[in-house]
Structure 1
Amino acid sequence: MINAVINKYQTIFSDQLLATDISIISMLLMLILISVIANYITKKIITVFFKKIVDKTKSQWDNIFYHCHVFSRLSHLIPILVFSVGSKMIFPADTYPLLLENIHKFTSLYLIFAFAFVIHSLLAAFDTIYRTFKMSKHRPINSYIQVLKIILWIFTVLASISLLLNKDLWALFLGMSGMMAIIMLVFKDTLLGLVAGMQITANDMLRLDDWLEMPSRGADGDVIDITLNTVKVRNWDKTITTIPTHALISESFKNWRGMSESGGRRIKRSISIDMRSVKFCDQEMLQSFMKIDLLKDYLLKKQQEIDTYNKETGNDLSNLVNGRRLTNIGTFRAYLSAYLRTNPKIHKQLTFMVRQLAPSSTGIPIEVYVFSNDQDWVNYEGIQADIFDHVLAVIPEFGLRVFQDPIGSDFENAFSRSADN
């Protein structure tokens, strides 16, 4: 009898507890649903309202804030407010102290992450705004922004752990001091990238849009992004090469910025002349050269200088070795120099030189060392090709021959001539 009564009351009590739990869960779910709806409505209102304002203003900063989701992420503050106030109204503090404590932890945790996302968006917006200034190409801050983001999320995670475990935040920091070796190992590349980024920025070693050439990493193109850990290079074949930032400190690379800033692009190419075609200029050759407009002034001045020298020295000019004389290769160099000076596509204020290099088994190299005033790759190649098209065509006019290794037809013609003889 007694057992039956006890069982009856236990059943009634359990049913009441179960009903209470279901009621609490139902109210919590309803509260969460209301908060989600409030968040959705707020986000829609903020999005539409700020979109209209952004479209009306001329400033680009508000557009950047809008596209970086700064305004939309502020909408998360509304569900926190709804959930916090609603829970206090539904659940009295004297009846549900433990539940309210857990709800307070939940809303505080949500608030921490909501503020973290807002600050993250603000940092992204600040970086985007900074990129609109010219100085951003000289002093990129992308790597510093990434460091701040890492610090932000480390603080966010630690604050969350501190909240959930009811531990002091400073005590957590002290507890992590023993893990610093592991943390430094995990973030090794990040730390190396940070130091490298500071050195690159301080020494102005690399900027956005610089032409970087780094054969060891297969990079040859424009720098499109400099981050904490990597540098992205768009190669000329439109592929993307990613280089560790610290590699730019430990390895060598070529930065073509100096060429870009100079206003010209170097043309450095030579043509080998057959040494057997080099000779003194006779009267017939000089008369032919005088018909070339670009050589008239040079020949008159040079011939007068040579005649004066030969008269003063009294050399026997019946022998070609005695005295001074013009040569066809020297006259060709003078012509080439005059031709390049009249070319409007050649930069006249930068290094300008037509020189003869050391003779070798492949002939005498005549090198053109000048700068084009157009730095565009396609135009530059066209300018260079036009110059050497003309040079190759005009060389025979000076009685010179371009050196070229013999090919099969040369041997065939030689054997044919031998057979005929």
Structure 2
Amino acid sequence: MAHPADTVDAVDPADTRTTVDTPLAAPDHAGSPGASGPRTVGVEEEFLLVDPVTGRARAVATSLLRSAPDAGDLCAELQREQLETGTSPCRDLAHLAEEIRRTRAAAQSAAEVTGVAVAPLATYPLDVEPTPSPNERSRRMVERFGLIGREQLTCGCHVHVGVADDVEAVAALDRIRPWLAPLLALSVNSPFWAGADTGYAGYRAQVWPRWPSAGPYGAFGSAAGYRALTDTMLGTGTLLDAGMLYFDARVSTHLPTVEIRVADVCREADDAVLVAALVRALVETAVREWRAGVDADPVRTEVLRLASWRAARTGVSADLVDPATWRPAPARTVLDRLLAHVRDALADAGDLEAVSGRLEAVLRRGTGAERQRAVFRATGDLRAVVLDALPVGPRDAAAY
């Protein structure tokens, strides 16, 4: 049986500070790279709010945001057990790493004021009955989508990459599709759900696509094709607004960026930097291919769903679907192929060494999902899994 959050914050019915799917990156994203350097990249991360002693989920986002001294980088999500952060747009990877650590620290500092902590876990391991945020949009989402909305307590990592215009954006979206499943495999951080091991390394990827507009997408062909599809989807009256176009990657509705949404929130800040750097390199590589007249891979959406399923099932610990052949291959082979695919873009941005090192680190120590399972094997306690993920928790994997 699911349990409600231990503490629910007081709510002013007129409160409009809580939002859903509002990009937080600053609105001065530049587009294509030029004299000023590589494309801009910014990261939004969603976190769970938990009791730092018991690990229980705490529905306190509204009061947290009211009491935070400076909540400029923070906002609420669909459920009050969540908090979202957003970096400023960065061109330098070291700057992005600083920004991710700064926004994570800001979230933790704000949480401490309310007596809670932030947990970088993509699903909540224990039973919980989430508490919708007190705004009209959240109310309407839960009302329209029923159990899908009531149960939705997952945390993702969204990467924004600057583009010149919608034409360039859609050219990139069409060409990065084959590589989104390997990105998911690198980020998997959600093996537990409702008190049980799901058998998946990234169960968020099974929960999230219950929204009718979520998951892998087909090639759009052009900016006009993208607009036509999204207009038709919105015209069905099923979705509340354009913010619910939950493709694994999309044109941002608020910024001159493409937004890649496939990754779990990463347990380690360095893994979020890795995902963001690979995303930027994928977008840059895709735009270069488009300019050179290279067509997008015509792979069907149905195949991409299978590739995504395999990535979510085992992360980097078993075979993935290789975009070069659309056949199974060892995860290391697929990730090496991904690195080779974006090598020129990484080198031109000065990111190749940093990305190669971070990729080796993930393959050596494992993903967030592997860490969660190691803690559970050692303790038999899902509360320990939650507490281990907290900023003040033990971080020595050798202990497990």
Greater Rg over alpha carbons, structure: 1
User: Shorter chain as normaliser: what TM range?
Assistant: under 0.3
Greater per-residue helix proportion: 1
Task: Give the number of the structure with larger relative contact order, counting CA–CA contacts within 8 Å between residues 6 or more apart.
Answer: 2
| TM-score, with structure 2 as normaliser | 0.24
| TM-score, with structure 1 as normaliser | 0.23
